Amino acid sequence: MESIESDTDLAGKIEKRISESTIRRLSLYLRALSLLDKKGVKTISSKELASREKLTPAQVRKDLSFFGSFGTRGLGYPVSELRSEIAGILGINRIWKVALFGVGNIGSAMVSYKEFARQGFQIVKLFDNDQRKIGSNHKGIIVSDVSNLEPEIKEAGIEIAIIGVPATVAQYIVDDIVAAGIKAILNFAPINLKVPSDVYLRNENMSMELEYLSFAMVNNHSEKKTKP
């Protein structure tokens, strides 16, 4: 019952499995290109782009080559076009509606984080279980009761959830969210969440980065390359 050519995506563009590293670097390229575009720069070579992100020119070219030929030999890449190509590849040439669960410290920070909106991630719903928070207004959004999430999520057309609730309750919330049909979750709770295989889950683990710094300091660990 396997489909033929199961490694080909719907648009027929991606033939190979793209590595996580490549996708993460696309985010970096996108950020750099947006800045260059704003500055009015018209073209950029793989060499220049690489140097801005502490990568190699070959890496940049290889990453882009998985998706097409966007450059001109002898010249480089057209900044503005490449920017929108990458936005298209990453799927952020559109608005994604996001719901945030847990209006605590991290949650509040996320609501105010301008960078999300700039990338097309629009936080349109806030949920909490604290009666004192429910009904209150955060940056123009009224906090809803988490116990009634399904109709609100469906009505608002939410596709992505950000989990900012404590680790102790995160799994329960996620079970409800998954039941409500959400297919992508960004988790800030320091816990390993269980989700069905058709739900995309990413974990943001801030302690991990500090622990990496600690390890590096204690062991004089010179990095060969900082991964994106």
For residue 200, the minimal CB distance to a second copy (Å) is: 5
Question: According to the binding rule CB under 8 A, does residue 131 interact with a second copy?
Answer: no
Cβ closer to a second copy: 89 or 153?
89
Q: Between β-strands 137-138 and 121-128, what pairing exists: parallel, antiparallel or unpaired?
A: unpaired
3-state secondary structure of 123: strand
Compute the distance between CA of residue 129 and CA of residue 224 in angstroms, rounded to an integer: 45
d(CA 6, CA 110): 36
The 15-34 site mask, x for binding DNA (CB under 7 A), equals: --x-xxxx------------
State the pairing for strand pair 141-145/137-138.
antiparallel
* Residue 75, token pair as written in the block: 């010249």
DSSP E strand boundaries for 45-90: 77-78
Reduced to 3 states (helix: H, G, I; strand: E, B; else coil), residue 195 is coil
Contacts (CB under 8 A) with a second copy, residues 91-120: 91-92, 96, 98, 104-106, 108-113, 115-116, 119
For residues 40-69, which are near DNA according to CB under 7 A?
45-47, 55-59, 61-62, 64-65, 69
**Contact set for a second copy, span 30-89 (CB under 8 A):** 30-32, 52-54, 89
In the complex, the residues that contact DNA under the rule CB under 7 A are: 17, 19-22, 45-47, 55-59, 61-62, 64-65, 69-77, 224-225, 227
